[in-house]
Structure 1
Amino acid sequence: MMFFTRILTFLSVTALLTAALPLVPRTNVGEGTYYNPGLGSCGITNTASDMIVAVSHLLYDSYPGATANPNLNPICNKKLVATYGGKSVTVTVTDRCMGCAGVYDLDFSPAAFSRLASTSVGRINGVNWEWVA
């Protein structure tokens, strides 16, 4: 009986510790482009020098809590870290990218894009990104 009590205690503690651990961030992969921002879907006006990003309309419109009013989308002002070619940039979501074909594609401001690659490239494939907690 003592053996079963110890096993049960061990399993209970293990389950509690596992539940308390933070989730491992999910890395998304998509294409990266850049655009000249202005008034975005979040209702925020940005410039080319701001460290912002537009996420794919597929992600923006299906984000949990999204409503018919894009200004109220909970994805607005979320931060993400994008990595490409060994370089990283932290950006804030302020817009929706209607030209993005993939769910995880990103459209950066020129300033943010240039932290990953030269704007002369125009499009970069294999941008890894994840949400900042």
Structure 2
Amino acid sequence: MMFFTRILAFLSVSALLSAALPLVPRANVGEGTWYYPGLGSCGITNTASDMIVAVSHLLYDSYPGATANPNLNPICGKKLVATYGGKSVTVTVTDKCMGCAGKYDLDFTPTAFSKLASTSVGRLTGVDWKWA
């Protein structure tokens, strides 16, 4: 009987803790740069004014469900929110960044980058981002 009481107490505490601790979306941190897009790896043609982003080739190619055909990568079309210096921008993944060295680096269009900082800055260190 004592064993049953302890198990019941453990399960009760576990249930209370899981209800009290909400899930927090995981944030990623990387460098942010900008580029002039064209036909991206997702098979979509974009312009400099589109609110899109290229994620690092390291993330793009290892994303769950990625295949040999980059146009069919499930990361395509996903939205993310990037934050830098107290400013945020929501962008859609349509490309991969071959020049990105870090797994969580992002390459924005000039319009999207300018929501975070002036394009004259060129590179942002410490861009936080999470899936929207």
Instruction: Note whether the superposition's TM-score is higher than 0.5.
Output: yes
Please say if 1:59 is aligned against 2:59: yes
Q: Give the superposition deviation at 1:115.
A: 0.4
Partner of 1:26: 26
Q: Give the superposition deviation at 1:108.
A: 0.3
Q: Could you list the runs of 5+ residues in structure 1 that have no partner in the other structure?
A: none
Q: Secondary structure of the equivalent of 1:111?
A: helix
Question: For residues 12 and 62 of structure 1, what CA distance do their matches in structure 2 show?
Answer: 37
Please say if 1:113 is aligned against 2:113: yes
Question: For residues 57 and 22 of structure 2, what CA distance do their matches in structure 1 show?
Answer: 28
After the TM superposition, which residues 87-102 of structure 1 pair with which residues of structure 2 at under 5 Å, given as runs? 87-102=87-102
Question: For residues 125 and 67 of structure 1, what CA distance do their matches in structure 2 show?
Answer: 30
For normalisation by structure 2, the TM-score amounts to 0.89
Q: How many residues align?
A: 131
2:76 alignment partner AA: C
Question: For residues 74 and 13 of structure 2, what CA distance do their matches in structure 1 show?
Answer: 34
Q: Give the superposition deviation at 1:44.
A: 1.1
Q: Secondary structure of the equivalent of 1:93?
A: strand
Q: Secondary structure of the equivalent of 2:31?
A: strand
Question: For residues 47 and 13 of structure 1, what CA distance do their matches in structure 2 show?
Answer: 55
Deviations 1:24-66 (A, max 9, x none): 2111111100011111100111111111100000110111111
2:110 alignment partner AA: P
Q: CA RMSD in A?
A: 2.1
Partner of 2:74: 74
For normalisation by structure 1, the TM-score amounts to 0.88
Partner of 2:126: 126
Deviations 1:97-128 (A, max 9, x none): 01111111100011110000001111111101
Q: Could you list the runs of 5+ residues in structure 2 that have no partner in the other structure?
A: none
Q: Give the superposition deviation at 1:3.
A: 8.1
